[in-house]
Structures are given as C-alpha cells and as structure tokens.
Copies of this chain bind each other. A is one copy, B any other.
C-alpha cells in the first residue's frame, strides 16, 4: 500500500495544515520527498478549503473571499530533479472521500469573479452533485446522469524566481490597462490571505507579498482545468527548481471543456495516487515550454453528440476578428437555448455545460473574419431523448426545480 504523504482533515481549516499552500513561490519548503519510480497518495481539500456547503443556498458562492484559493497540497520534492528536467507523472487513480460523496458547481456573481457567461448569469448560483460510485446526479438538475471524468483542476511544479517575476510582471501590466474593471483582468499577489505552507518568518512574509495567485494556468501547468488530464493520464511537467516541487489540488469529479461556469466543474475534496519519473534535460530534448500529456485508457466514452456551432459575432451582432473565445461563447449560448426547450431553466442548462463531459473544439481559425468553435453535448447523459425530430422538442423534465440563486446583497 503506497504511503499517503499528505493528509487533510476536512473539519480543520486548511490554514492550519502546513502541507497546504495557496500561492506559487519557489521558497515554499517541500513537505515530503520521493524517489523517481515511487508511487504515493496525496489528499486534497476542495479548492475553497471547505467554504462551500452541501445545502440549497448559493449564499456561500456569493460571499466567498476568492483571495483564499486554491488550497494546494504540496510541494512534494523529487530526488534528483533539476531545472530543465521533465517530471513524468502518472495519475494512477483519483477519488472522492467515501464520507464526502458529493461536490458542487457554482456561478460566481459578476461582482465577485464572474464566469464565462457572467453577462447572462450575473448572480451567484449553486448546484450540488451526489456521487453514486462512478456516476453523479443532482437534485438541482434532474434528468441527467453521467460517469465522472475525475481529474485535478490544478497541478504543477514550483516556478523559479525568474519565472515568478515574469508572471507577476506580465499580469501586472495587463491589470494596468484597466485596473478598476469588474471582474478584474487578473489577480495580483495578495498577502493577507496567503498560505505558504511551512515557510516562516521574513521569508514567509516576502513570499506572501510576491507569491503568484493560483488562478490562471501558466507555463508550469497550474490551474489548467483540462478535463482530460484525468485519472489514468501521463503528464510531462517542466521542472524549474531543484527537487521539482509538485503541488496539486482543485479536484473535479467531472467538467466540460472550458469549465465555463468558473466554479466550474463538480468541485470536491479527495485523494490522488501518483507515480513520478524523470526525463533528464527533457525540456531541451523535446522542446517543451508547457506540460504535455497522454490521455487515459479508461475514461467515459460517448459516441453520439449534438454539436453546436458558434462564430465570432457576439450577442449584440458585432463582428470580431478570428476570436475563438467569442465563437465558443456563442456555441455555448446556442446550446443553452436548445437545452432550455426540453424543460430546463437556462441556469440548469448552463450548469450542465459546466459539469458534463462536453467537448469544446476550435473548429476553424483562419476563415476571416469568423472563427468557428463547436460545443459537443453528449446525448447519452440525458434520461430522455434530446435529439431533434419532426415532432419538436418533448420536455424531459418537469418544471419546478431550479438551481438556488443568491442575489447580490
């Protein structure tokens, strides 16, 4: 039985657990060391450290202080790892805690983070998803059931000092272009809520002042929220500091491409079973800037999809130039409109796109001026027939349920 290197107590604040951190900084001390070839287990809080509860109110999603996220487990040192190596990580398995067989999905208020469709869904909303072994259902979204595509939303190695400076410089520059925007363009370092693991004293305070926020994906991977980086996958991470310093968190029971609801997947605490190897000097040998990975041989498979197209003309009719973000937004809105014809509220439809294993494809990016993106909705996740037919849509769910909403105070 492999060692569990990091344990979490869900009844305890993650700030009291010194194997947890919520900023990226090269000075955070390793909390354990492993050998290449070793496998081990790491336990994780959910990304909010337990702030969101299993109830029927979205007040917690509305009120959360997002400067506390994400609570990561680590860093784990790897013997012999040096900058320039590739750290090969096998995701041997990932799971929920049996005593905590549920997760949450939320839309943030536009005043507190927002999301991909924040203009359409500006208020905080939350749905709870129960796990039944491999499957999940929600009391807030009837009529859908699907197998989990379990994955960590966030995993990567510690940045070097130099890389950290690059991150802070470029993100600060972006914020400077519109510093009062709501939601903001990016999140700068923020010391008051920083948790630096076992780092103490002045070093800790210095790291709190400059440690990168965990929100965006960056060169090291980080918060990629890639649904296919799932249990069974093999990932090749760039190494920037001696010992690599692998940290992980933000486990998801399932998520669609894009994680469009932001809080976004079905978020959960749990455990991950990892194995590590090294490819010495692998970054140069293979020309690696960002992590690469190979998918799992064992994951939910679907064959039939309804595929929605979107082009880079926005909701107001304005023309954008080869903008895949706009095109994917239109594909999502088209899917929400369609799903809502079958008895769902638009919020329920949005939640489905956030949590189910929908695919988002960059379909065309050269046919000026319109990018084309597609949203792939697996039809088999529905208990009823959601395909088009001559008779028109037949509602598959009864009205009366919806996703709890918490209007801004």
A215, chain B: closest CB distance, angstroms? 5
Q: Does A355 contact B (CB under 8 A)?
A: no
Q: Tell me the nearest residue of chain B to A385, going by C-beta.
A: B385
A287 touching B338, Cβ below 8 Å: yes
Residues of chain B contacted by A135 (CB below 8 angstroms): 92, 232
Chain A, 129-156, contact with B by CB distance < 8 Å: what is the 0/1 string?
0001111000000000011000000000
Is B325 a contact of A363 with CB atoms below 8 Å? no
Q: Is A29 in the interface zone, CB < 8 Å from B?
A: no
Q: Decide: A294 and B319 in contact? CB cutoff 8 A.
A: no
Interface contact A372-B225, CB-CB below 8 Å: yes
A364 touches B224 (CB 8 A): yes
Complex interface: chain B residues within 8 A of A311 (CB): 216-219, 290
Distance A134 CA – B116 CA, assembled complex (angstroms): 34
Protomer copies: 4
A404 on interface, CB distance cutoff 8 Å: no
| In the bound complex, CA of A388 to CA of B236 (Å) | 9
Which residues of chain B are within 8 angstroms of A366 by Cβ–Cβ distance? 115-116, 225, 258-262, 264
Question: Judging by beta carbons under 8 Å apart, are A285 and B393 in contact?
Answer: yes
Q: List CB contacts (< 8 Å) of A195-232 with chain B.
A: 215-219, 221, 223-228, 231-232
Q: Please give me the residue from chain B that is nearest to A272 by CB atom.
A: B133
A409 at the interface (CB under 8 A from B): no
B-contact bits for A89-124, CB 8 A (1 contact / 0 none): 001110000110100000000000001100000000
Q: Chain A 74-93 against B: per-residue CB contact (8 Å), 1 yes, 0 no? A: 00000000000010100111
Q: Is the CB of A368 within 8 A of B186?
A: yes
| Cα separation A258 to B223 with both chains bound (whole Å) | 24
Count chain A residues whose beta carbon lies closer than 8 angstroms to a beta carbon of B. Answer: 127
Once the chains are docked, how many angstroms separate the CA of A93 from the CA of B99?
Answer: 15
Q: A295-B307, A388-B279 are in contact. Are A258 and B374 (CB under 8 A)?
A: no
Q: How far is the CA of A392 from the CA of B297 in the complex (A)?
A: 24
Q: Which residues of B contact A313 (CB under 8 A)?
A: 170, 218-219
B225/A328 in contact, CB under 8 A:
no
Residue pairs across A and B with Cβ atoms less than 8 A apart, 27 shown, are: A132-B273, A132-B275, A134-B232, A134-B298, A146-B297, A170-B317, A170-B319, A186-B319, A215-B367, A217-B309, A217-B367, A224-B309, A258-B364, A259-B364, A260-B366, A286-B338, A290-B331, A292-B309, A293-B307, A294-B304, A294-B305, A297-B300, A297-B301, A303-B304, A324-B328, A328-B365, A362-B362
Beyond A258-B364, A287-B341, A323-B325, list 16 extra A-B contacts (CB 8 Å).
A183-B368, A215-B367, A216-B367, A225-B367, A225-B372, A226-B361, A228-B363, A259-B366, A261-B366, A262-B366, A279-B392, A286-B341, A286-B393, A294-B306, A294-B307, A362-B362
Sorted from nearest, which 4 A-B pairs have the closest CB atoms? A92-B133, A93-B133, A360-B362, A216-B370
